[in-house]
C-alpha cells in the first residue's frame, strides 16, 4: 500500500507544477501585451512630437513668407499686412497640434 500515497503525492506535485506553469505563462502573456501597449504609446508620442516640430517649422516658414510678401508689398507702395489665417482656424477646430 506504499505505492498509492506515493502516486497521490506525485500527482499532486505534477498538478502544482502545471498550475505554476500556467500562472507563469499567463504572466508572460500579460507582460507581452503590456509591452506592446507601451511600445505603441511610445511610438504614438514620438509621432506627435515629430508632428509638433513639423507644424512649428511650417508655421515659421509661412510667417517668413508672409513677412517677405509684406516687404514686397511695402516696396511697391502697399500697406503690407499679410497674415496667414489658415493655421489659426485649423488649430481652433482642433486639427492642429
Q: Please compute the mean of the pLDDT values over residues 14-42 and round it to a whole number.
A: 89
Q: Does pLDDT of 6 surpass 50? A: yes
Per-residue pLDDT tens over the stretch 37-96: 999 999 999 999 999 888 888 888 888 988 888 888 776 666 655 555 555 555 665 555
pTM strictly above 0.85: no
Q: How many angstroms separate the CA atoms of 50 and 18, rounded?
A: 48
Per-residue pLDDT tens over the stretch 57-72: 888 888 898 888 888 8
Side-chain half-sphere exposure of 28, counting CA atoms within 13 A = 6
24 with 69: CB under 8 angstroms? Answer: no
Domains in the chain: boundaries: 3-92
Q: How many angstroms separate the CA atoms of 49 and 43, rounded?
A: 10
Amino acid at each position: 500500500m506504499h505505492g498509492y500515497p506515493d502516486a497521490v503525492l506525485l500527482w499532486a506535485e505534477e498538478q502544482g507544477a502545471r498550475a505554476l506553469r500556467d500562472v507563469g505563462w499567463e504572466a508572460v502573456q500579460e507582460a507581452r501585451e503590456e509591452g506592446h501597449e507601451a511600445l505603441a504609446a511610445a511610438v504614438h508620442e514620438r509621432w506627435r512630437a515629430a508632428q509638433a516640430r513639423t507644424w512649428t517649422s511650417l508655421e515659421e516658414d509661412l510667417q517668413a513668407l508672409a513677412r517677405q510678401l509684406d516687404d514686397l508689398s511695402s516696396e511697391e507702395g502697399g500697406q503690407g499686412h499679410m497674415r496667414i489665417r489658415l493655421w489659426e482656424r485649423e488649430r481652433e477646430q482642433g486639427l492642429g497640434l
